[in-house]
Structure 1
Amino acid sequence: MRTAKICLAGAAAAAMVGFLAAPAAAAPTDDTTVTFEVDEGTLDIVAPATADLGSGAPGGIITGQLGTVTVTDSRGAADASWVASVTSTVFETGGGTPAETVEPGLIDYWSGAATATTGNGTFTPGQANAGAAEPLDTVTPVTAFTHTGGTGGNTAAWNPTLVVNVPLDSIAGTYTGTVTHSVA
């Protein structure tokens, strides 16, 4: 009987070792759930720090381009629409008497067509050509460029033109003012 117990115990031990040593059955496929996040960015506008439009006589017209203005939209929005606008201060030389100022209403702005765009949606200049130029204002913004529709990121660049209608009573000097572009 003792022999039968030893044999039975040996058989059980051998079966257990065989069970433990048996290879695991592999699954034919396995899934991994992967996630990532697209960060919300910003809506920015960059314009040249300075511009020299040239010179002209009292009663004449001075025309020049500001340089490239660029809107970068990295908000990642489902509706990536925006409006870029522009205002201006009074241009002055000397002490600020009427003969030493040029009001923004005497300075016409036109954006012209985009020089570059990326992304989807519709890009529209505020003023496609010189005939559509609009006078600047210190308070009421003029639409410079718009983007409607589209999704995700986009960019637009344009090189706006300013047309200064120099008053006949202007005195000689260098007139300085600030043209401000904004986007929302």
Structure 2
Amino acid sequence: MRTAKICLAGAAAAAMVGFLAAPASAAPTDTTTVTFEVLVGTLDIDAPATANLGSGAPGGIITGQLGTVTVTDSRGAANASWVATVTASVFQTGGGSPPETVLPEEIAYWSGPAVGTPPTTGDGTFTAGQPTAGDAALLSSVTPLTAFTHSGGTGGNSANWNPSLIVNVPLDSIAGTYTGTVTHSVA
């Protein structure tokens, strides 16, 4: 009988070890908290390095496009508004002493509408500063002219336009190649 008690005690102990060693039962669902960070980007403008508008006679008009100007906004802002502006330097030729000049105020700028595929990205409102040639406005070396704007919207966006310059060549201009700079800025 003593052997039976030992066997029963041993069986009970083995059952307890088996019960205590059983795996925990899994819950039917569980959650994981996940985080990530959207980095603050930049607001950039990119314009062609050079442009040749062609030629014309004194007292005439020279018209040509600069090439595509692009604003890219990757700031990830809650209000992704920006304003692109343009100014110009004095244009001058190497002939004569002092050099002959054409003032920015004798050159009109028109942005035209957004162009490209796609012309704009992101939400908000994109507005051309001078949507048609009839809206062309004179440049200045001091006062920036609005070229394009974006208002509202959130996150990233971009716009492309191909502005034109209309040079009113002064009647007293001398022959030569005139060089100056057109500067686009965005803020």
TM-score (norm 1): 0.93
1:132 to 90, 114, 135: 135
Give SS of 1:172's match. Answer: coil
Cα distance in 1 between the residues matched to 2:125 and 2:96 = 43
1:99–1:169 contact (8 Å) kept in structure 2: no
- Greater shift in the superposed pair: 6-15 or 148-157: 6-15
Q: Quote the Cα distance in structure 2 between the aligned partners of 1:120 and 1:179.
A: 29
One-letter amino acid of the counterpart of residue 121, structure 2: T
| 2:154 is aligned with 1:156 | no
Q: What residue in structure 1 maps to residue 168 of structure 2?
A: 165
Runs of 5+ in structure 2 lacking a partner?
A: none
Q: Tell me if structure 1 keeps the 8 A contact 2:110–2:130.
A: yes
Are residues 182 and 18 of structure 1, via their aligned partners in 2, closer, same or farther at CA, if it must alter by over 3 Å?
same
Matching residue of 1:142: 145
Q: CA RMSD in A?
A: 1.9
Kept in 2, the 8 Å contact 1:104–1:137? The answer is yes
Amino acid at match of 2:142: V
* Aligned residue-pair number: 184
Q: CA deviation at 1:47?
A: 0.3
For 1:88, give the aligned amino acid: A
Distance in 1, Cα, partners of 2:113 & 2:22: 74
User: Normalization by structure 2: what TM-score?
Assistant: 0.91
Q: Which amino acid is the alignment partner of residue 82 of structure 2?
A: W
Moved more, 59-68 or 128-137: 128-137
Q: Which stretch of structure 1 is more off in the superposition, 140-149 or 87-96?
A: 87-96
Distance change (3 Å), C-alpha of 1:20 and 1:96 = farther
> Which segment drifts farther, 30-39 or 43-52?
30-39
Secondary structure, aligned partner of 1:131: helix
Amino acid at match of 1:82: W
Deviations 1:33-86 (A, max 9, x none): 111111111100000000000000001000000000000001110000000000
Change (3 A) 1:97 1:164: farther
C-alpha separation between the residues in 1 aligned to 2:133 and 2:33? 56
1:20 positional shift: 2.9
Q: Structure 2 CA distance, aligned partners of 1:101 and 1:55?
A: 15
Distance across 1 between alignment mates of 2:185 and 2:178: 23
Identify if the C-alpha distance between structure 1 residues 95 and 173 changes in structure 2 by more than 3 Å, giving closer, same or farther. closer
Q: Paired residue for 1:62?
A: 62
Letter in 2 for 1:146: T
Aligned to 2:84: 84
